[in-house]
Structure 1
Amino acid sequence: MDITINQTYLPHNDPDAAIAFYRDVLGFEVRNDVGYQGMRWITVGPIGQPVSIVLYPPEATPGLTDDERRAVTEMMAKGTYASINLGTPDLDATFAKIEATDAEVVQEPTDQPYGVRDCAFRDPAGNMVRIAQS
């Protein structure tokens, strides 16, 4: 079997802030920016790699009740709703560049007891962005 990751989804609540973080802070390219009924879906990804992150408006999720929408909004605000793990060959240099942008630091580069060296930030929507030494 030959299966690859094509896209992953992260919620956003401010499309312009999301673009600024993923494009300007992480250096990803914006591959698509689609608006529909006052909402925007933004596709970003690392230059030269086929995998994409679709930043989507959570209020567009079909079938959510008002209570579920409130819960999603609350979890996003706390940073407990969604996350993504990325990798870089030079974690310390990457951390320094991102930290210099005033991105919200959650964890400085740390050697984890399970064998990974990583750091963590939150994107503007509160999503956890972990970056590991690869």
Structure 2
Amino acid sequence: MIKNIAIVSLFVKDVDESLRFYTDTLGFEPKDDVTLGDGYRWCTVIHPEQPELVVHLTVPGPPLSPELAAAIARAQDEGGMSGLGLNVDDCQATYDALVAKGVEFLQPPSERPYGVEALCRDNSGNWLVLVEQKYSPE
């Protein structure tokens, strides 16, 4: 039986730059960084409050076809890649802190039926949604 989600993969343009973004800007911690056969890099980060969920940062490439990898790269350039939803305690304060670090937002904190939400992109074009929920996600 499935118990939970353990790994989420994000396509990034540059693993080193994304590793810095997720650790230095967002506060994630590095977990694994291993180069395997054929130069494939397995690089992951975790959030210290949810270490059981691993975020895998990977550049589109094999085993994907060259055509699919190119399509993903185009979607990244257009800022059309899905990403992560991140729970925050205070959406406005988190927004202010990330703006001060140079993160560009597509949408400032806005009231929604489920809470307060702000939308930005990471340095590879993946959407990040910050959500201050009205009710606990538990």
Q: 1:58 aligns with which of 57, 60, 64?
A: 60
Partner of residue 6, structure 2: 6
Partner of residue 102, structure 1: 102
The Cα of 1:116 is off from its aligned counterpart by: 3.3
SS at match of 1:58: coil
Partners of 1:100 and 1:41 in 2: CA distance: 30
Alignment partner of 1:117 is 2:119: no
- Counterpart mapping for 1:66-105 below 5 A: 66-105=66-105
The Cα of 1:117 is off from its aligned counterpart by: 1.4
SS at match of 1:84: strand
Partners of 1:12 and 1:41 in 2: CA distance: 12
Deviating runs (4+, > 6 A) in structure 1? none
SS at match of 1:119: strand
The Cα of 1:48 is off from its aligned counterpart by: 3.4
Alignment partner of 1:46 is 2:25: no
The Cα of 1:39 is off from its aligned counterpart by: 4.3
Q: Identity rate of aligned residues, in percent?
A: 29
With normalisation by structure 1, the TM-score equals 0.87
Partners of 2:40 and 2:77 in 1: CA distance: 19
The Cα of 1:40 is off from its aligned counterpart by: 2.8
State the one-letter code of the partner of 1:43.
T
The Cα of 1:65 is off from its aligned counterpart by: 2.9
SS at match of 1:125: coil
Length, aligned pairs only: 131
CA RMSD for the aligned pairs? 1.7
Partners of 2:57 and 2:21 in 1: CA distance: 11
The Cα of 1:69 is off from its aligned counterpart by: 2.0
Partners of 1:97 and 1:81 in 2: CA distance: 24
The Cα of 1:58 is off from its aligned counterpart by: 1.2
The Cα of 1:2 is off from its aligned counterpart by: 6.3
SS at match of 1:30: strand
- Counterpart mapping for 1:18-29 below 5 A: 18-29=18-29
State the one-letter code of the partner of 1:35.
T
SS at match of 2:55: strand
What are the ranges of 5 or more consecutive residues in structure 1 without an aligned counterpart? Answer: none
